[in-house]
Structure 1
C-alpha cells in the first residue's frame, strides 16, 4: 500500500470518528507511551516497535505522562512518613 493512501484513509477514519486528525505514525508514539505507563519494560517496548536500541525508543517515542510522574514522586513518600 502506498503510504499516501494509508495516510489519506487514516485521515478519513479520524474525520468519520469525529476525533482530531493525527499522523498515522503518531500511533507508534502513543503505543510506546501507553505501554510505558503500564509498566512494560523499555526493552519489550523496543521489541514491539522494532527498534534496534532501547535508547531510541525511550528518547524519541516514550513521552512521560502525569501518571508516570506521579508514580515516581509517590515513591518518595517514605521520606515524609512519621
Structure 2
C-alpha cells in the first residue's frame, strides 16, 4: 500500500529510497538510454545553470537548491555570466539613449 510522504524520490510504496538504490537506478537508466554518463549530482548543476542562463532570478535558484544564502549560489555560478558588465552597460545605454 502506497503512503504519500511528499517525497521527490521514493520507493514504490512511498518510503524514502536509499542513496545506493537511487544511484543504481540512475546508472541503469543512463545505460539503457545510451546517454553520456553523468552523476546524479550533475543534474543539480544542470538545473541551476539552465535556470540562471534563462534569467531566473538567482534568489529563486538559491532557494530551489537549498543554499543558505544567495551569495553561495552567486559564488558557485558566477562563471556563467562572463559578460555581465558589458551587457549591463549596453542595456543602460539603450534605456538612456533610445530614440
Root-mean-square deviation (Å) = 2.6
Name the TM-score, length of structure 2 as normaliser.
Answer: 0.62
Unaligned runs of 5+ in 1: none
Q: Structure 1 or 2: larger helix share?
A: 1
Count residues with an aligned counterpart.
Answer: 76
Mapping of 1:47-66 within 5 angstroms? 47-60=63-76, 64=80
Structure 2: 5+ residue stretches without partners? 1-16, 94-99
Bigger radius of gyration: 2
Classify 1:74/1:46 alpha carbon distance in 2 versus 1 (closer, same or farther; 3 Å): closer
1:42 touches 1:58 (CA, 8 Å); kept in 2? yes
